[in-house]
Amino acid sequence: MMAKEIRESIKTIYGMLWEILALYEKTDCYNKVPENEKDIWDYLGDKLMNVRKNIDMLFLGQEEPAQKLREIVDETEQFVRRYERPGVVKRWKRINPQILFFECSFEIMEKFPEVYKEISWGLSNLKLACYPDENLIAARKKYFAEANRKIEEGNFQYTEERVFQNELLRTLTLVFEHDFKEYL
């Protein structure tokens, strides 16, 4: 397989995963079934299985890129099946730390400061995926101020889910750029 064919095949798989993640808002965070479908779990499972099939077909004999793609599909499936936000694997958070801005710990910290204090001090059985420090809090405020400015100026009328979905799709792009820089 030539480099150009590999590049185009990687882009094909990227597009398929992008379409799955782009269903986030439309399916109410993967809770509502698209028209003509009976079960969201099966629907998404079928879409992910189709991606896996295409990896096996397009990358037959090319184990290195195929294995990287399978890992990304596994990570995508973990997000889709998790029913939480951001719900992405740590590797994706390392590649795009801005996805951390959607962690529930910020909301708990703002709306329920006493609960957050108990959790962060280890006085609760609850554990959070992220315990923001001052730098992360400041970066998040700046991020959402800029996002809100763009939304207002463009009259986009985005929901909170759409803002998250856009960052999730940006994260997918960064993951592919990170994992396949030699092909893209």
> Given CA atoms 124, 31, 99, 82 in this order, what sign does their dihedral have?
positive
The C-alpha atoms of residue 174 and residue 19 are separated, in whole angstroms, by 16
pLDDT of res. 155: 93
Average pLDDT over the chain, rounded to whole? 94
Q: Which amino acid is at 115?
A: V
Tokens of 157: 């009328």
User: Are the C-beta atoms of 183 and 6 separated by less than 8 Å?
Assistant: yes
- 175: confidence class by pLDDT, cuts 50, 70, 90: very high
pLDDT band per the 50, 70, 90 thresholds, residue 1: low
Tens digits of per-residue pLDDT, 102-112? 999 999 999 99
DSSP 131: -
pTM, two decimals, is 0.92
Q: Model confidence at 101, in pLDDT bands (50, 70, 90)? A: very high
| 8 Å CB contact between 184 and 176 | yes
Q: Which residue has the tokens 């939304």?
A: 151
For 147-175, b/e burial (b = at least 16 CB within 10 A) is beeebeeeeeebeebebbbbbbeebbeeb
The confidence score (pLDDT) of residue 82 equals: 86
Higher pLDDT, 1 or 72: 72
